[in-house]
Amino acid sequence: MIELRPFDQLGGADHGWLNAKHHFSFASYHDPARMHWGSLRVWNDDTIQPQTGFPTHPHRDMEIITYVREGAITHRDSLGNEGRTEAGDVQVMSAGSGIRHSEYNLEDEVTRIFQIWILPDRDREGEAPSWGARPFPKADRSGEWAVLASGRDSDRNALPIRTDARVLGATLKAGQMLTYALAPKRHAYLVPATGSVRVGEVEAQARDGVAITDTDIITIVANEDSELVLVDAA
């Protein structure tokens, strides 16, 4: 099954400083048919104006992955962590037993991010919170998948998360094809950050969502130069 979720049909709200689009039910947007996709609970497409951001607020028992598409985001938390994550880089916060943090765009330009929330495995709930970030040069994912965050020990170069899931990125030139093997009973969710792709027989434009399950091999063909983010979740 491959289902297109067009960007212009997503939920969301424009708060002035923040223009947020929600692939799944979040905040004031509620759609019983789009509560989650497997353990993937949230995929927000956020545009944050310069010198604004999310003031300090709490989280608990959630794996929160931030993929920076443009600009940069500055993180501060109750553990004393502070870091600036810029376009092309990824940060992960494991909220665990509880953490408070803020996220600000301290730049003089707009920042655009995907924020992805995945439920932790039940046996890892309540662990000590943590935060980390690292760069993922786009040249290293040209024409192939790079694992950005993962709960699998075998994905040694990825940021660790406490759930049976992977977050992957790739860039494709127009006409290039890329595949991904999806194990039985898994849920994949693909969003082109830029460009346009064909997933099986489904055409997806930039920022559309593509929900995939019961498919052994996902085949993606780039209609134009494209940047992809994929979640593979239980």
Model confidence pLDDT, tens digit, residues 73-118 = 999 999 999 999 999 999 999 999 999 999 999 999 999 999 999 9
pLDDT on residue 135:
95
* Tokens found for residue 32: 């019983």
pLDDT on residue 229:
98
**To which H or E segment does residue 207 belong?**
none
Residues 6+ apart with CB under 8 A from 8: none
pLDDT on residue 232:
98
Question: Which sequence spans correspond to the domains of the chain?
Answer: 2-233
Model confidence pLDDT, tens digit, residues 33-83 = 999 999 999 999 999 999 999 999 999 999 999 999 999 999 999 999 999
Give the confidence band of 177 by pLDDT, cuts at 50, 70, 90: very high
Give the residue from 62, 10, 9 showing the smallest Cα distance to 39: 62
Give the residue from 25, 12, 17, 7 showing the smallest Cα distance to 111: 17
Longest dimension (CA), the chain: 48
Cross-sheet strand order for the sheet of 99-105: 52-59, 99-105, 72-77, 82-86
159-160 and 146-150 beta bridge pairing: parallel
Question: Quick one: average pLDDT of 162-189?
Answer: 98
Model confidence pLDDT, tens digit, residues 117-150 = 999 999 999 999 999 999 999 889 999 999 999 9
Mean pLDDT across the chain, nearest whole number? Answer: 97
* Tokens found for residue 229: 């983010």
Model confidence pLDDT, tens digit, residues 155-173 = 999 999 999 999 999 999 9
pLDDT on residue 227:
98
Residues 6+ apart with CB under 8 A from 9: none
pLDDT on residue 150:
98
2-233: what CATH class? mainly beta
Neighbouring CB atoms inside 10 A of 41's CB total: 19
| C-alpha–C-alpha distance, residues 83 and 77, integer Å | 10
**117 touches 189 (CB < 8 A):** no
Burial 106-127 (b: 16+ CB within 10 A, else e): ebeeebbbbbbbbbbbeebeee
